[in-house]
Chain A
Protein backbone atom coordinates (compact mmCIF):
# COMPACT_ATOMS: atom_id res chain seq x y z
CA UNK A 1 0.00 0.00 0.00
CA UNK A 2 1.49 3.35 -1.00
CA UNK A 3 1.75 6.40 1.23
CA UNK A 4 -0.80 8.24 -0.92
CA UNK A 5 -3.31 5.42 -0.58
CA UNK A 6 -2.90 5.31 3.16
CA UNK A 7 -3.23 9.06 3.41
CA UNK A 8 -6.37 8.92 1.31
CA UNK A 9 -7.83 6.27 3.61
CA UNK A 10 -6.99 8.31 6.66
CA UNK A 11 -8.64 11.36 5.17
CA UNK A 12 -11.71 9.28 4.32
CA UNK A 13 -11.78 8.13 7.92
CA UNK A 14 -11.59 11.72 9.15
CA UNK A 15 -14.38 12.71 6.79
CA UNK A 16 -16.58 9.87 8.00
CA UNK A 17 -15.93 10.88 11.60
CA UNK A 18 -16.77 14.48 10.76
CA UNK A 19 -20.07 13.47 9.16
CA UNK A 20 -20.92 11.31 12.14
CA UNK A 21 -20.27 14.13 14.61
CA UNK A 22 -22.20 16.57 12.47
CA UNK A 23 -25.21 14.29 12.39
CA UNK A 24 -24.97 13.85 16.16
CA UNK A 25 -24.96 17.60 16.68
CA UNK A 26 -27.92 18.06 14.34
CA UNK A 27 -29.89 15.47 16.28
CA UNK A 28 -29.01 17.23 19.54
CA UNK A 29 -30.04 20.53 17.99
CA UNK A 30 -33.40 19.17 16.88
CA UNK A 31 -34.15 17.71 20.27
CA UNK A 32 -33.25 20.96 22.03
CA UNK A 33 -35.51 22.94 19.73
CA UNK A 34 -38.29 20.48 20.34
CA UNK A 35 -37.86 20.85 24.06
CA UNK A 36 -37.85 24.62 23.79
CA UNK A 37 -41.09 24.62 21.81
CA UNK A 38 -42.73 22.40 24.37
CA UNK A 39 -41.52 24.70 27.12
CA UNK A 40 -43.17 27.78 25.63
CA UNK A 41 -46.62 26.64 26.58
CA UNK A 42 -45.62 25.44 29.99
CA UNK A 43 -46.63 28.32 32.13
CA UNK A 44 -49.48 26.76 33.97
CA UNK A 45 -48.79 23.13 34.40
CA UNK A 46 -49.62 22.41 37.95
CA UNK A 47 -51.48 19.20 38.37
CA UNK A 48 -54.75 19.62 40.12
CA UNK A 49 -55.48 16.06 41.01
CA UNK A 50 -56.15 16.78 44.61
CA UNK A 51 -59.59 17.11 46.04
CA UNK A 52 -60.74 20.71 46.36
CA UNK A 53 -60.55 21.79 49.92
CA UNK A 54 -59.82 25.42 50.40
CA UNK A 55 -62.37 28.16 50.61
CA UNK A 56 -64.91 26.72 52.99
CA UNK A 57 -65.34 23.90 55.37
CA UNK A 58 -68.61 22.38 56.41
CA UNK A 59 -67.41 21.00 59.66
CA UNK A 60 -69.86 22.72 61.92
CA UNK A 61 -72.80 21.15 63.59
CA UNK A 62 -71.67 17.55 63.85
CA UNK A 63 -72.37 15.76 67.09
CA UNK A 64 -69.75 15.29 69.78
CA UNK A 65 -69.66 11.54 69.18
CA UNK A 66 -68.35 12.03 65.64
CA UNK A 67 -65.43 14.21 66.73
CA UNK A 68 -62.79 11.73 65.66
CA UNK A 69 -64.19 11.13 62.19
CA UNK A 70 -64.68 14.87 61.83
CA UNK A 71 -60.99 15.39 62.57
CA UNK A 72 -60.06 12.77 59.97
CA UNK A 73 -62.13 14.68 57.43
CA UNK A 74 -60.59 18.03 58.38
CA UNK A 75 -57.17 16.49 58.25
CA UNK A 76 -57.78 15.19 54.74
CA UNK A 77 -58.97 18.61 53.60
CA UNK A 78 -55.97 20.33 55.11
CA UNK A 79 -53.46 17.89 53.63
CA UNK A 80 -55.04 18.41 50.21
CA UNK A 81 -54.97 22.16 50.67
CA UNK A 82 -51.25 22.06 51.47
CA UNK A 83 -50.72 20.04 48.30
CA UNK A 84 -52.64 22.73 46.39
CA UNK A 85 -50.18 25.32 47.71
CA UNK A 86 -47.28 23.27 46.40
CA UNK A 87 -48.95 23.06 42.99
CA UNK A 88 -49.51 26.81 42.97
CA UNK A 89 -45.84 27.30 43.86
CA UNK A 90 -44.90 25.22 40.80
CA UNK A 91 -46.99 27.51 38.61
CA UNK A 92 -45.21 30.50 40.10
CA UNK A 93 -41.85 28.91 39.37
CA UNK A 94 -42.88 28.26 35.77
CA UNK A 95 -43.98 31.86 35.37
CA UNK A 96 -40.63 33.03 36.76
CA UNK A 97 -38.79 30.80 34.31
CA UNK A 98 -40.32 32.61 31.34
CA UNK A 99 -39.96 36.04 32.95
CA UNK A 100 -36.29 36.22 32.01
CA UNK A 101 -37.21 36.38 28.31
CA UNK A 102 -38.63 39.84 28.92
CA UNK A 103 -36.33 41.16 31.58
CA UNK A 104 -34.21 43.42 29.42
CA UNK A 105 -34.96 46.32 27.10
CA UNK A 106 -37.59 45.82 24.37
CA UNK A 107 -36.46 43.53 21.56
CA UNK A 108 -36.87 45.04 18.14
CA UNK A 109 -37.53 42.85 15.11
Chain B
Protein backbone atom coordinates (compact mmCIF):
# COMPACT_ATOMS: atom_id res chain seq x y z
CA UNK B 1 0.00 0.00 0.00
CA UNK B 2 1.22 3.44 -0.86
CA UNK B 3 2.02 5.44 2.23
CA UNK B 4 0.15 8.64 2.68
CA UNK B 5 2.42 11.67 2.56
CA UNK B 6 0.86 14.80 4.00
CA UNK B 7 3.62 16.96 2.52
CA UNK B 8 2.56 16.04 -0.99
CA UNK B 9 -0.85 17.56 -0.26
CA UNK B 10 0.36 20.82 1.24
CA UNK B 11 1.52 22.36 -2.06
CA UNK B 12 -1.71 21.77 -3.97
CA UNK B 13 -3.71 22.97 -0.98
CA UNK B 14 -1.73 26.21 -0.71
CA UNK B 15 -2.00 26.74 -4.45
CA UNK B 16 -5.76 26.19 -4.32
CA UNK B 17 -6.13 28.51 -1.34
CA UNK B 18 -4.11 31.26 -3.03
CA UNK B 19 -6.09 30.89 -6.22
CA UNK B 20 -9.35 31.11 -4.35
CA UNK B 21 -8.12 34.10 -2.41
CA UNK B 22 -7.30 35.84 -5.66
CA UNK B 23 -10.77 35.05 -6.99
CA UNK B 24 -12.27 36.26 -3.74
CA UNK B 25 -10.39 39.53 -3.96
CA UNK B 26 -11.28 40.09 -7.59
CA UNK B 27 -14.91 39.10 -7.44
CA UNK B 28 -16.20 42.01 -5.36
CA UNK B 29 -14.28 44.47 -7.50
CA UNK B 30 -15.78 43.16 -10.71
CA UNK B 31 -19.28 42.99 -9.28
CA UNK B 32 -18.83 46.50 -7.88
CA UNK B 33 -17.62 47.79 -11.21
CA UNK B 34 -20.55 46.16 -12.95
CA UNK B 35 -22.97 47.74 -10.53
CA UNK B 36 -21.62 51.18 -11.39
CA UNK B 37 -21.77 50.66 -15.11
CA UNK B 38 -24.85 51.24 -17.12
CA UNK B 39 -26.68 48.40 -18.76
CA UNK B 40 -25.22 47.63 -22.16
CA UNK B 41 -28.05 47.84 -24.63
CA UNK B 42 -28.36 45.98 -27.89
CA UNK B 43 -27.59 47.85 -31.10
CA UNK B 44 -31.28 48.31 -31.88
CA UNK B 45 -32.76 48.23 -28.37
CA UNK B 46 -34.32 51.68 -28.24
CA UNK B 47 -36.28 51.08 -25.02
CA UNK B 48 -33.13 49.99 -23.22
CA UNK B 49 -31.31 53.19 -24.25
CA UNK B 50 -34.24 55.35 -23.17
CA UNK B 51 -34.52 53.59 -19.81
CA UNK B 52 -30.79 53.91 -19.17
CA UNK B 53 -30.87 57.59 -20.12
CA UNK B 54 -33.85 58.20 -17.85
CA UNK B 55 -31.94 56.64 -14.95
CA UNK B 56 -28.95 58.91 -15.60
CA UNK B 57 -31.24 61.93 -15.64
CA UNK B 58 -33.07 60.86 -12.46
CA UNK B 59 -29.79 60.45 -10.59
CA UNK B 60 -28.78 63.95 -11.59
CA UNK B 61 -32.14 65.43 -10.69
CA UNK B 62 -31.88 63.82 -7.25
CA UNK B 63 -28.42 65.28 -6.71
CA UNK B 64 -29.68 68.70 -7.76
CA UNK B 65 -32.54 68.32 -5.28
CA UNK B 66 -29.96 67.66 -2.57
CA UNK B 67 -28.16 70.85 -3.57
CA UNK B 68 -31.45 72.76 -3.56
CA UNK B 69 -32.18 71.50 -0.05
CA UNK B 70 -28.71 72.54 1.11
CA UNK B 71 -29.22 76.07 -0.24
CA UNK B 72 -32.61 76.36 1.48
CA UNK B 73 -31.21 75.10 4.77
CA UNK B 74 -28.28 77.50 4.62
CA UNK B 75 -30.60 80.37 3.75
CA UNK B 76 -32.88 79.55 6.70
CA UNK B 77 -29.86 79.40 8.97
CA UNK B 78 -28.62 82.79 7.71
CA UNK B 79 -25.46 81.21 6.41
CA UNK B 80 -26.39 82.58 2.99
CA UNK B 81 -28.09 85.84 2.12
CA UNK B 82 -31.21 85.78 -0.01
CA UNK B 83 -29.27 87.24 -2.95
CA UNK B 84 -26.62 84.55 -2.69
CA UNK B 85 -29.26 81.83 -2.41
CA UNK B 86 -31.17 83.22 -5.40
CA UNK B 87 -28.15 82.92 -7.67
CA UNK B 88 -27.64 79.31 -6.64
CA UNK B 89 -31.31 78.36 -6.81
CA UNK B 90 -31.52 79.86 -10.29
CA UNK B 91 -28.64 77.68 -11.44
CA UNK B 92 -30.27 74.57 -9.98
CA UNK B 93 -33.56 75.47 -11.65
CA UNK B 94 -31.88 76.01 -15.03
CA UNK B 95 -30.22 72.62 -14.89
CA UNK B 96 -33.30 70.82 -13.64
CA UNK B 97 -35.45 72.33 -16.37
CA UNK B 98 -32.85 71.47 -18.98
CA UNK B 99 -32.64 67.88 -17.81
CA UNK B 100 -36.41 67.62 -17.68
CA UNK B 101 -36.68 68.84 -21.27
CA UNK B 102 -33.98 66.43 -22.35
CA UNK B 103 -35.86 63.57 -20.69
CA UNK B 104 -39.05 64.48 -22.58
CA UNK B 105 -37.08 64.51 -25.81
CA UNK B 106 -35.39 61.21 -25.04
CA UNK B 107 -38.64 59.50 -24.07
CA UNK B 108 -40.21 60.56 -27.35
CA UNK B 109 -37.36 59.33 -29.55
CA UNK B 110 -38.15 56.66 -32.13
CA UNK B 111 -34.67 56.49 -33.60
CA UNK B 112 -31.94 54.81 -31.56
CA UNK B 113 -29.22 57.05 -32.94
CA UNK B 114 -31.08 60.14 -31.77
CA UNK B 115 -31.73 58.49 -28.40
CA UNK B 116 -28.03 57.77 -27.99
CA UNK B 117 -27.22 61.38 -28.83
CA UNK B 118 -29.67 62.49 -26.14
CA UNK B 119 -27.87 60.25 -23.66
CA UNK B 120 -24.55 61.78 -24.69
CA UNK B 121 -26.04 65.21 -24.12
CA UNK B 122 -26.78 64.35 -20.49
CA UNK B 123 -23.02 64.45 -20.09
CA UNK B 124 -21.93 66.96 -22.70
CA UNK B 125 -24.52 69.66 -22.14
CA UNK B 126 -25.00 69.43 -18.41
CA UNK B 127 -21.99 67.90 -16.65
CA UNK B 128 -23.94 67.90 -13.41
CA UNK B 129 -21.42 65.78 -11.51
CA UNK B 130 -18.27 67.03 -13.16
CA UNK B 131 -19.02 70.75 -13.24
CA UNK B 132 -22.31 71.97 -11.76
CA UNK B 133 -22.23 70.36 -8.32
CA UNK B 134 -18.53 70.98 -7.62
CA UNK B 135 -18.92 74.58 -8.79
CA UNK B 136 -22.11 75.32 -6.87
CA UNK B 137 -20.92 73.74 -3.63
CA UNK B 138 -17.77 75.84 -3.99
CA UNK B 139 -19.93 78.91 -4.45
CA UNK B 140 -21.80 78.10 -1.24
CA UNK B 141 -18.46 77.75 0.50
CA UNK B 142 -17.24 81.04 -0.92
CA UNK B 143 -20.46 82.82 0.06
CA UNK B 144 -20.16 81.55 3.62
CA UNK B 145 -16.54 82.70 3.70
CA UNK B 146 -17.58 86.13 2.43
CA UNK B 147 -20.30 86.39 5.07
CA UNK B 148 -17.86 85.37 7.78
CA UNK B 149 -15.40 87.98 6.56
CA UNK B 150 -18.19 90.60 6.57
CA UNK B 151 -19.15 89.63 10.10
CA UNK B 152 -15.54 90.02 11.22
CA UNK B 153 -15.10 93.34 9.47
CA UNK B 154 -18.40 94.59 10.86
CA UNK B 155 -17.32 93.67 14.37
CA UNK B 156 -13.99 95.50 14.25
CA UNK B 157 -15.22 98.75 15.78
CA UNK B 158 -16.85 96.88 18.67
CA UNK B 159 -13.64 94.97 19.32
CA UNK B 160 -11.66 98.19 19.22
CA UNK B 161 -14.02 99.78 21.76
CA UNK B 162 -13.69 96.78 24.05
CA UNK B 163 -9.90 96.95 23.83
CA UNK B 164 -9.83 100.67 24.64
CA UNK B 165 -11.77 100.06 27.85
CA UNK B 166 -9.50 97.17 28.91
CA UNK B 167 -6.87 97.65 31.66
CA UNK B 168 -3.66 99.32 30.50
CA UNK B 169 -1.50 96.26 31.15
CA UNK B 170 -3.57 94.24 28.65
CA UNK B 171 -3.68 96.83 25.91
CA UNK B 172 -0.45 95.90 24.21
CA UNK B 173 -1.33 92.24 23.84
CA UNK B 174 -4.88 93.03 22.79
CA UNK B 175 -3.76 95.58 20.23
CA UNK B 176 -1.28 93.12 18.80
CA UNK B 177 -4.00 90.49 18.45
CA UNK B 178 -6.39 93.03 16.97
CA UNK B 179 -3.80 94.14 14.46
CA UNK B 180 -3.29 90.57 13.29
CA UNK B 181 -7.05 90.04 13.23
CA UNK B 182 -7.48 92.94 10.85
CA UNK B 183 -4.55 91.83 8.74
CA UNK B 184 -5.99 88.32 8.37
CA UNK B 185 -9.46 89.59 7.52
CA UNK B 186 -8.01 91.91 4.86
CA UNK B 187 -6.00 89.02 3.41
CA UNK B 188 -9.14 86.89 3.30
CA UNK B 189 -10.99 89.65 1.49
CA UNK B 190 -8.30 89.82 -1.14
CA UNK B 191 -8.42 86.04 -1.69
CA UNK B 192 -12.20 86.09 -1.91
CA UNK B 193 -12.10 88.87 -4.51
CA UNK B 194 -9.86 86.63 -6.59
CA UNK B 195 -12.08 83.61 -6.04
CA UNK B 196 -15.17 85.38 -7.30
CA UNK B 197 -13.54 86.01 -10.65
CA UNK B 198 -12.97 82.31 -11.27
CA UNK B 199 -16.59 81.15 -11.28
CA UNK B 200 -17.70 82.36 -14.73
CA UNK B 201 -15.10 80.10 -16.39
CA UNK B 202 -16.37 76.96 -14.69
CA UNK B 203 -18.84 75.86 -17.36
CA UNK B 204 -19.62 72.54 -19.09
CA UNK B 205 -18.45 74.12 -22.36
CA UNK B 206 -15.02 74.90 -20.96
CA UNK B 207 -14.88 71.50 -19.33
CA UNK B 208 -15.57 69.84 -22.70
CA UNK B 209 -13.51 72.06 -24.96
CA UNK B 210 -10.80 73.67 -22.87
CA UNK B 211 -10.08 71.18 -20.15
CA UNK B 212 -6.62 72.40 -19.20
CA UNK B 213 -7.81 75.95 -18.73
CA UNK B 214 -10.84 74.69 -16.83
CA UNK B 215 -8.72 72.67 -14.40
CA UNK B 216 -6.29 75.54 -13.98
CA UNK B 217 -9.11 77.91 -13.05
CA UNK B 218 -10.60 75.40 -10.65
CA UNK B 219 -7.22 74.94 -8.98
CA UNK B 220 -6.80 78.71 -8.67
CA UNK B 221 -10.25 78.94 -7.12
CA UNK B 222 -9.44 76.18 -4.66
CA UNK B 223 -6.20 77.88 -3.67
CA UNK B 224 -7.99 81.18 -3.08
CA UNK B 225 -10.75 79.56 -1.03
CA UNK B 226 -8.24 77.60 0.99
CA UNK B 227 -6.12 80.66 1.69
CA UNK B 228 -9.17 82.73 2.65
CA UNK B 229 -10.31 79.95 4.96
CA UNK B 230 -6.90 79.85 6.65
CA UNK B 231 -6.90 83.65 7.05
CA UNK B 232 -10.37 83.64 8.56
CA UNK B 233 -9.48 80.80 10.90
CA UNK B 234 -6.42 82.70 12.11
CA UNK B 235 -8.50 85.84 12.62
CA UNK B 236 -11.02 83.78 14.58
CA UNK B 237 -8.19 82.50 16.78
CA UNK B 238 -7.05 86.06 17.42
CA UNK B 239 -10.58 87.04 18.34
CA UNK B 240 -10.95 84.06 20.62
CA UNK B 241 -7.79 85.07 22.47
CA UNK B 242 -9.01 88.65 22.76
CA UNK B 243 -12.35 87.45 24.07
CA UNK B 244 -10.60 85.31 26.66
CA UNK B 245 -8.44 88.19 27.87
CA UNK B 246 -11.41 90.54 28.01
CA UNK B 247 -13.54 87.85 29.63
CA UNK B 248 -11.03 87.30 32.43
CA UNK B 249 -11.14 91.01 33.20
CA UNK B 250 -14.89 90.76 33.69
By a beta-carbon cutoff of 8 Å, the part of chain A in contact with chain B is 1-3, 6-7, 10, 13-14, 17-18, 21-22, 24-26, 28-29, 32-33, 36, 40-41, 43-44, 46, 48, 52-57, 59-60, 62, 64, 67-72, 74-75, 77-79, 81-82, 84-85, 88-89, 91-92, 94-96, 98-99, 101-103, 105-109
The segment from B94-102, B193-201, B228-236 that touches chain A is: B228-236
Mark B234-246 against chain A: 1 for CB-CB distance below 8 A, else 0: 0110011011001
**Other-chain contact of B20, A2, A7, A17, A68 (Cβ < 8 Å):** A17
**Other-chain contact of A41, B66, B123, B239 (Cβ < 8 Å):** B66
Residues of B contacting A18 with CB < 8 Å?
16, 20
Q: Do B35 and A33 touch across chains, with their CB atoms under 8 A apart?
A: yes
Interface centre among A3, A36, A55 (most CB of B within 10 A): A55
**Other-chain contact of A106, B21, B73, B120 (Cβ < 8 Å):** B120
Residues of B contacting A99 with CB < 8 Å?
129-131, 133-134
Nearest A-chain residue to B142, judged by Cβ: A88
With A21-B24, A78-B148, A109-B52 already in contact, the answer to whether A59 and B77 are too (CB < 8 A) is: no
Residues of B contacting A71 with CB < 8 Å?
158-159, 162, 239, 242-243, 246-247
Residues of A contacting B173 with CB < 8 Å?
none
Name 9 interchain pairs, CB-CB below 8 A, sorted by A.
A21-B24, A33-B31, A41-B66, A64-B161, A68-B250, A82-B236, A92-B134, A94-B137, A109-B38
Task: For the complex, give the distance between the alpha carbons of A43 and B133 in Å.
Answer: 9
Per DSSP, are chain A's interface residues mostly helix, strand or loop, or mixed?
A: helix
Nearest A-chain residue to B35, judged by Cβ: A33
Residues of A contacting B53 with CB < 8 Å?
109
Task: For the complex, give the distance between the alpha carbons of A71 and B161 in Å.
Answer: 10
With A25-B25, A102-B123 already in contact, the answer to whether A52 and B78 are too (CB < 8 A) is: yes
Nearest B-chain residue to A29, judged by Cβ: B28
Residues of A contacting B86 with CB < 8 Å?
none
Q: How far is the CB of A46 from chain B (nearest CB, A)?
A: 8
Residues of A contacting B38 with CB < 8 Å?
107-109
B114 on the A face (CB < 8 A)? no
Interface centre among A36, A74, A79, A94 (most CB of B within 10 A): A74
Q: Do A21 and B161 touch across chains, with their CB atoms under 8 A apart?
A: no
Q: Do A88 and B23 touch across chains, with their CB atoms under 8 A apart?
A: no
Nearest B-chain residue to A55, judged by Cβ: B78
B122 on the A face (CB < 8 A)? yes
B48 on the A face (CB < 8 A)? yes
Residues of B contacting A44 with CB < 8 Å?
66-67, 69-70, 137
Nearest A-chain residue to B59, judged by Cβ: A40
Residues of A contacting B20 with CB < 8 Å?
17-18, 21-22
Residues of B contacting A96 with CB < 8 Å?
134
Task: For the complex, give the distance between the alpha carbons of A47 and B69 in Å.
Answer: 13
Task: For the complex, give the distance between the alpha carbons of A10 and B79 in Å.
Answer: 68
Q: Do B4 and A1 touch across chains, with their CB atoms under 8 A apart?
A: yes
Nearest B-chain residue to A1, judged by Cβ: B4
**Other-chain contact of B148, A60, A84, A95, A105 (Cβ < 8 Å):** A84
Q: Do A85 and B145 touch across chains, with their CB atoms under 8 A apart?
A: yes
Residues of A contacting B116 with CB < 8 Å?
108
